[in-house]
């Protein structure tokens, strides 16, 4: 467990020095929200009644794609700079490596989630109406699940040709019902002040987080072997 924290700290330190991924993801989430703003400019006026539905969907598309970008980079970078071998030679359990990577990914992804939530309010003149905290909490929960499965799948895809295409192909179907659909519903309910209606959705996302964590913990070893 300590090893996991050290690996996460290492990743974050590298990131804070280069700010490569953070700046890319900052722009990426900015542009996704902007793309939604332009794309839906005829469909919604600020303050329109359907805005919570649009907002929750748009936010989760934004979270998912930004997370895919972030998780892809976290392994691709190690592979390209040939630091992955060093990491694998380090005397730590591979499962700790998984948890460490997932933790550093989570921090970066969650940071981008916060940015997107803010950008959305800004560009759509959207008022979270005192529910911003609930939206943030749901983003955190969904991101935990996303990152737990995403880190494993990113490690799978980094072994392949065409890895940047393959990651979304492998990941999106897996997160469709484990993260995106329940989170979108829960976020929409939260935005209209009824987070209490989404107990089942929240339970389901949390249950998938547990399933993915166990699977990742048990199988990560095999993915990065050799």
Partner 1 sequence: MRMDRKKLGTILVVVSVVLILMTVYLAVFFAPLPQTGVKSAGEILSSVEGSKLKVAGFVSAVYSIHFGMLDGPDEVIFSLADFRDYGRYLQANATHSLNQQWWTVRPIDIKSISGGLNSRMGPNLGGVIVVGANLSMDGIVTSNTIAPNSNVTGFSLSSGSGNDITFGSVGSFGLMTAPVAQKIFYFHMPSAWACYLSFGVTLVGSALFLRTRDHKYDRVAYSSAEIGIVFATIAITTGPVWAKQEWGVYWRWDDMKLVTTFVLWLVYIGYLSLRAAISEPSAKARVSAVYGILSFITVPMSFLSSRVAPLLQSSHPQVIATSSGSLSPQAGMTIGIAVVAFTVLFITMLIKRVEIAEAEEELEELKRKIGDEE
Q: Are 117 and 136 in contact (CB under 8 A)?
A: yes
Q: Which of 147, 170, 191, 213 binds partner 1 (CB under 8 A)?
A: 170
Residue appearing with tokens 């019902």: 177
Question: Both tokens of residue 158?
Answer: 């980094």
Distance CA 58, CA 62 (A): 6
Instruction: Estimate the crossing angle of helix 181-191 against helix 51-80, to 10 degrees.
Output: 130
Closest approach of Cβ 131 to partner 1, in Å?
18
Closest approach of Cβ 114 to partner 1, in Å?
26
Interface segment toward partner 1; rule CB under 8 A; list 21-29, 88-96, 99-107, 158-166: 158-166
Q: How far apart are the first and last CA of the chain?
A: 23
Q: Which of 128, 182, 188, 209 binds partner 1 (CB under 8 A)?
A: 182
Q: Which of 106, 152, 154, 213 binds partner 1 (CB under 8 A)?
A: 152
Q: Which of 105, 145, 178, 187 binds partner 1 (CB under 8 A)?
A: 178
C-alpha distances out from residue 105 to 9, 57, 82, 102, 150, Å: 11, 22, 19, 5, 9
C-alpha distances out from residue 75 to 13, 78, 154, 182, 188, Å: 15, 5, 7, 28, 33
Residue appearing with tokens 């929200």: 33
Q: Which is nearer to partner 1, 29 or 189 (CB)?
A: 189
Per rule CB under 8 A, is residue 166 in the interface with partner 1? yes
Interface segment toward partner 1; rule CB under 8 A; list 23-31, 44-52, 72-80, 199-207: 199-207
Per rule CB under 8 A, is residue 133 in the interface with partner 1? no
The binding site for partner 1 (CB under 8 A) comprises 149, 152-153, 156-157, 159-163, 166, 169-170, 173-174, 176-178, 181-182, 185, 197, 199-201, 203-204, 208, 211, 215, 219, 222-223, 225-226
């Amino acid at each position: 467990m300590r090893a996991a924290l050290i690996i996460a700290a290492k990743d974050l330190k590298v990131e804070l020095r280069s700010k490569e991924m953070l700046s890319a993801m900052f722009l990426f989430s900015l542009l996704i929200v902007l793309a939604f703003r332009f794309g839906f400019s005829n469909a919604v006026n600020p303050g329109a009644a359907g805005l919570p539905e649009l907002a929750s969907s748009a936010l989760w598309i934004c979270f998912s794609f930004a997370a895919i970008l972030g998780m892809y980079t976290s392994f691709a970078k190690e592979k390209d700079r040939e630091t992955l071998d060093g990491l694998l030679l380090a005397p730590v359990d591979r499962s700790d490596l998984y948890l460490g990577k997932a933790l550093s990914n989570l921090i970066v992804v969650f940071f981008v989630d916060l940015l997107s939530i803010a950008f959305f309010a800004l560009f759509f003149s959207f008022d979270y109406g005192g529910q911003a905290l609930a939206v943030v909490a749901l983003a955190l929960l969904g991101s935990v699940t996303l990152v737990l499965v995403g880190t494993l799948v990113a490690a799978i895809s980094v072994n392949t040709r065409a890895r940047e295409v393959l990651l979304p192909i492998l990941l999106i179907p897996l997160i469709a019902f484990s993260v995106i659909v329940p989170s979108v519903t829960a976020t929409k309910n939260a935005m209209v002040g009824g987070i209490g209606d989404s107990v089942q959705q929240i339970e389901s996302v949390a249950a998938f987080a547990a399933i993915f964590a166990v699977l990742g913990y048990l199988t990560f070893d095999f993915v990065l072997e050799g």
